[in-house]
Amino acid sequence: MISNVSVSQAGARPSGGYTQETSAQRESATKTDPATDAATDNEAQLSEAQRKQLRELKARDLEVRAHEQAHLSAAGGYAQGGPTFTYQKGPDGHQYAVGGEVQIDSSKVANDPVATLRKAQVIRRAALAPTNPSAQDRSVAAEAASMAAEAQAEITAQSTQGAEENKDDATTQMKQDKAQETGGCPACGGAHSSDAHEGMMAYAAPITSQTQSVSNIV
């Protein structure tokens, strides 16, 4: 580790082939952290049951922090701040994390199903990122999967609609091209003129109206 490298290189070797140690270095080597000493003394005064509880709390603290960090790393820009933890005081007087959460923006992207789909996929991955996802994590993942399915359906519907519109435009263009070639009707591609087409449509309108009226009476 980088910190160990800097410590091990603190004493330089002079030309004599031995390590010269100053009084300050000797004092630094023998000096210990008061907080560590106090913690060690506290643990020494604990009963066996208390030491067992302390070991469990320390393990839980590490597990919780790793769990929430996995959420945070996978969520990326959708995470709203860092993890928040709930703590329990140990028999040694210190606080240990026993629960935590990461807030994630799970709203849809307005008027953009493609972006919504991508976002839902990220949220789902973030929810299931820890080794052992909680029930709440799985619930969030399920909601994200549902949001992704809705976005995919919207994308498919838009693609289908676009294909139909392109097909209609292509059909209209073909009729117009045919009319230009034959001198016929540009509206339907028939052999008659555009004036004749309008007359036919005007003549057909009253008949359609009359048929609807009869249908209503029956």
pLDDT in tens, 122-145: 999 999 999 999 999 999 999 999
The closest alpha carbon to 152, from 111, 108, 110, 113, belongs to 113
- The Cα–Cα gap between 9 and 6 comes to 5
In this predicted model, which residue has the larger pLDDT, 161 or 51? 51
Query: Which pair of tokens denotes residue 212?
Result: 């609807």
Provide the pLDDT confidence category of residue 160 given band limits of 50, 70 and 90.
Answer: confident
- The Cα–Cα gap between 139 and 147 comes to 13
Under 8 Å between Cβ of 26 and 18: no
| DSSP letter assigned to residue 199 | H
What value does the mean pLDDT take over residues 8-33? 35
Q: Is the pTM of this model over 0.75?
A: no
Under 8 Å between Cβ of 80 and 117: no
For the chain, percent of residues with pLDDT exceeding 90:
52
What value does the mean pLDDT take over residues 186-192? 60
92-120 per-residue burial string, b: 16 or more CB within 10 A, e: under 16 = beeebbeebebebeeebeeeebeebbebb
pLDDT of residue 6: 20
Under 8 Å between Cβ of 81 and 68: no
pLDDT of residue 196: 61
| 164 HSE (CA, 13 A, CB side) | 6
User: pLDDT digit string (tens) for 190-213?
Assistant: 656 666 666 655 555 554 444 333
In single-letter form, the type of residue at position 120 comes to: A
What would you report as the CA-atom Rg of the chain, rounded to the nearest whole angstrom?
A: 38
Q: Which helix (H) or strand (E) holds 176?
A: helix 135-182
Under 8 Å between Cβ of 128 and 137: yes
- In the chain, DSSP finds a helix count (H) and a strand count (E) of 7, 2
Calculated CA dihedral for residues 20, 22, 25, 31, nearest 10 degrees: 130
